């Protein structure tokens, strides 16, 4: 039986992440609501090189402001590929449309809108198993929030940039820590599902975030070995170290 304190703490953490996403999406919707057609005209008229520069600048700004978002890059490689945005101007417009609230007159969406992806949709479905622990659910919620927060910020950054407006603010989301008693384990069924759909690299990231959720702490490196070695030459992609511009160059 799950500890009520751990359950309540996990629920508060998830709500905090969702509220931050709602606020970010609402702010973006306010920028986009009155000028959707003009957004399309300005973005599509930009050169492929310029579109790539804007997306890359948004990634750098987000990942250097919130280190945990640097871990989310591999979770949204399809949506935020610089080369893809260079080649296909519609990708940005499709993301913008998907992240908009159903009712643009609402100041804050009731729940955040998540960018759909077959892999992550499958993982969300798999975690509904009765065997899934609070720690695993919290870890998945945090991963999805970071993935979507990064997408929202980069899209909003691009939106502001093409209108020469001030760049959107991004602040660290702080959640409460969990009681340190009886850490829960991640069910093998959930790990197997993540491995089958995403591969071993994402499995390692998921396990790391889940353990961080269990202990109620943040980590700066993916492992103790990573902290000791020359990270520029051989650190893992999931490392929480701040990014440099060259790390994001496609």
Residues 45-61: tens digit of each pLDDT: 999 999 999 999 988 88
If one counts every other C-beta atom within 10 angstroms of the C-beta of residue 239, the result is: 19
Helix or strand run (H / E) with residue 191 = helix 188-198
Is the model's pLDDT at 241 over the cut of 60? no
Select the more confidently predicted residue: 188 or 137. 137
Contact 67, 242 (CB under 8 A): yes
- d(Cα 43, Cα 212) in Å, to the nearest integer? 39
Q: At what angle do helices 118-126 and 188-198 cross, to 10 degrees?
A: 170
CA distances from 134 to 8, 25, 110, 138, 215 (A): 10, 26, 23, 6, 13
Is the model's pLDDT at 178 over the cut of 50? no
> What is the model's pTM?
0.66
pLDDT at 82: 92
pLDDT at 43: 93
Highest mean pLDDT pick, 9-23, 127-141, 156-170, 213-227: 156-170
pLDDT at 76: 87
pLDDT at 220: 41
pLDDT at 192: 65
- d(Cα 123, Cα 18) in Å, to the nearest integer? 18
User: Once rounded to an integer, what is the mean pLDDT over residues 125-150?
Assistant: 79
Contact 190, 136 (CB under 8 A): yes
pLDDT at 89: 93
- d(Cα 78, Cα 130) in Å, to the nearest integer? 31
Encode pLDDT of 188-235 as tens digits.
Answer: 655 665 666 566 766 676 666 555 544 444 434 444 454 444 444 444
CA distances from 109 to 50, 112, 184, 194 (A): 31, 6, 32, 29
Encode pLDDT of 141-167 as tens digits.
Answer: 778 888 888 998 899 889 888 888 877
pLDDT at 53: 92
* DSSP one-letter string for 109-176: -SSPPPPP-HHHHHHHHHTTSTT--HHHHHHHHHHHHHHHHHHHHHHHHHHHHHTTPPPPP------P
pLDDT at 236: 45
pLDDT at 103: 54
If one counts every other C-beta atom within 10 angstroms of the C-beta of residue 143, the result is: 22
Residues 6+ apart with CB under 8 A from 215: 178, 180, 183
- d(Cα 101, Cα 7) in Å, to the nearest integer? 29
Q: How many domains does the chain have?
A: 1
Encode pLDDT of 69-119 as tens digits.
Answer: 777 888 888 899 999 999 999 999 999 888 875 554 455 556 788 888 888
State the residue range of the domain holding 112.
4-248
237 CB-side CA count, 13 A: 13
Closest CA to 67 of 233, 207, 202, 247: 247
- d(Cα 148, Cα 175) in Å, to the nearest integer? 17
């Amino acid at each position: 039986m799950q500890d009520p304190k751990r359950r309540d703490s996990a629920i508060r953490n998830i709500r905090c992440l969702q509220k931050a996403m709602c606020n970010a999406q609402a702010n973006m919707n306010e920028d986009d609501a009155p000028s959707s057609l003009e957004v399309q005209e300005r973005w599509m008229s930009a050169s492929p090189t310029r579109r790539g520069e804007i997306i890359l600048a948004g990634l750098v700004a987000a990942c250097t402001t919130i280190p945990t978002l640097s871990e989310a890059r591999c979770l949204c490689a399809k949506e935020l590929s610089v080369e893809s945005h260079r080649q296909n101007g519609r990708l940005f417009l499709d993301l913008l449309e998907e992240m908009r609230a159903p009712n643009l007159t609402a100041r804050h969406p009731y729940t955040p809108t998540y960018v759909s992806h077959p892999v992550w949709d499958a993982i969300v479905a798999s975690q509904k198993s009765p065997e899934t622990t609070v720690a695993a659910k919290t870890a998945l919620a945090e991963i999805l929030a970071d993935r979507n927060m990064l997408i929202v910020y980069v899209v909003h950054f691009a939106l502001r940039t093409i209108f020469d407006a001030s760049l959107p603010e991004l602040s660290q989301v702080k959640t409460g820590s969990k009681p340190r008693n009886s850490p829960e384990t991640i069910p093998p069924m959930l790990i197997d599902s993540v491995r089958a759909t995403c591969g071993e690299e994402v499995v390692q990231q998921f396990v790391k975030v889940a353990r961080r959720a269990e202990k109620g702490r943040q980590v700066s490196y993916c492992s103790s070995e990573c902290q000791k070695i020359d990270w520029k030459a051989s650190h893992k992609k999931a490392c929480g170290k701040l990014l440099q511009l060259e790390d994001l160059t496609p």
